[in-house]
Structure 1
Amino acid sequence: MDDLSLLRLFVQVTDQGSFSSVARSLHTTPSAVSRQISRLEEHLGTRLLQRTTRQQVLTEAGEVYLHHARQIIEDMDTARRAVSELSNTPSGVLRVTMEADLAQTLLNPILPEFLSAYPNLRLQLHTSATMEDLVGRGIDVAIRVGHLETSSLMAKRLTMSRSVLVASPEYLEQHGMPQHPEDLMHLSCLSFRVESDQTTWRFKSADKVLKVPVSGRVQVGSLAFLKETAKAGFGIAMLPIWILREDLSAGKLLPVLGKFPLEPPATPISAVYPSGRNLAHKVRVFIDFLTEKLQNNTDTP
């Protein structure tokens, strides 16, 4: 038995608690398992397990060795998987969750290219704006807009999303183009937030940040709905550029207060996935694909 196999055997014994249990799983005898562990102890020059009639108890040296043994086995498995993935095609079901607006506007146009590149992958897309229990629901990766709260999840920033204020030509013709952020307090400002009656928009002016309380007739948790409401002339909306390109180009919506940058100037779009050293190949290729495609696709009108 080679050294790595001995390590695996030692970890199995500590996990299962007895030679007989391990022997049954390996279709061998308890005495054969005991001999291999004794061989390992002889090689190390120290006792790793205290034997009793019913169980094996780790010694202090055994606990130290177990910690390193697990690390070595994980590293070896990771290395083997990395080499294997060089020639293996990602396959199986990729479970993704993201906001419906993001999926429709950013993912939908590039999805055919991704699926063509990886024909053995199947996509399950869950449209949700909440940070779900990724592990509990078996979700591989979540795509989220905004600054993320600290958690046990891992995150990779895909790109930055810049927002602007817009309104329809008809609304601006009727109510006038605001010249300063404080003018917004007297205009109808459509809000993406529905949790609060009070919304505050922040602007960068010289070396300070202006905080302007705004209100309007519509609050809705959908960017697409918010855009259509602005186009219908109900007020001024703050929207990401990636959802506005066509309407800005067609003149259906016009930029407002362009001389006063929003604060923060942009928000991240991130891929969030369960923590762990071994990122599945299907998840890695999906994140890499999104990083490449979205990098220059979210900011320019």
Structure 2
Amino acid sequence: MSSQNIFTLINPQNGNLAFKLFSFYNNSHFDHLQRNNYFSLIWITKGKGKVKADFAEHHFEENSLLAFSPYQPFMLCVSDPIEGIAIHFHPDFYCIHMHQKEVSCNGILFNNVYEPPFTLITEQAAETFRMVLDQMKSEIQNAELAQYESLISYLKIFLITASRLKNQQLQGTKSVPDSKEPFILQNLKDAIEDNFKTKHSAGNYAAMLNISPKALAKLSKNYFNKTLTDLIAERIIIEAKRELYLTNKTVKEIAYELGYDDEHYFSRFFKTNADVSPQIYRETVGFGKEEA
């Protein structure tokens, strides 16, 4: 790949990747398990295949935008050769948690444990993306005053466009009438959101929803492509990552708030799911203490 297809910014304070934009013409970048300490947006403009992310597998088509959070495990297995464009950005460069009011992509585009990690890109959105990407490329090549701020503005446009589109697609699927199963699943999502800090077992949720654990497990696997235990674990880990990044709470405090009395048990649980310890996560993803 020629260097003209790769555009990179390095954080001068620590030498880490801040922002990277590149075109790809095969799957060599993503054909092995990724666990990166930055956000990734991968726009597949040609080809199709399977994405393995967290505990699930999903099929993706041409013109899909894949979105992954720091240390979210993923890899692509292609059936038709892929081409596209990837954007990597570190939370120190732009943190979706800290700018949730500006760019409502947390829980929609990223960190949505209940939906596949991709958005189908319409031609209208593709036009916006192409325009924004061209602006990003020219901005990276000219190290002018306020280069970071300008790049962040273009990144915001990209994220907002993608988030709106994904939200529309999610609303569209909700409006399709179905049996009582999706109703139970919506209740399950609500129950997890309300109780994941105190209730960690699949049996807890089956009892709350008055359904047998076996039936609920089957529903979860069919609709979310994940076991109920995996769904709960993912939700806990997302909250732990958020706390590690946004607050200066100790690992012990975070563990306690998430319902774990044993800090060491929690650290093992976190490492099993994130592949790094809570402390390493905080050190490599950064620390963006929320402003009061």
Instruction: Flag whether TM exceeds 0.5 (same fold).
Output: no
Of structures 1 and 2, the one with the larger relative CO (CA 8 A, separation 6+) is 1
Normalising by structure 2, we get a TM-score of 0.23
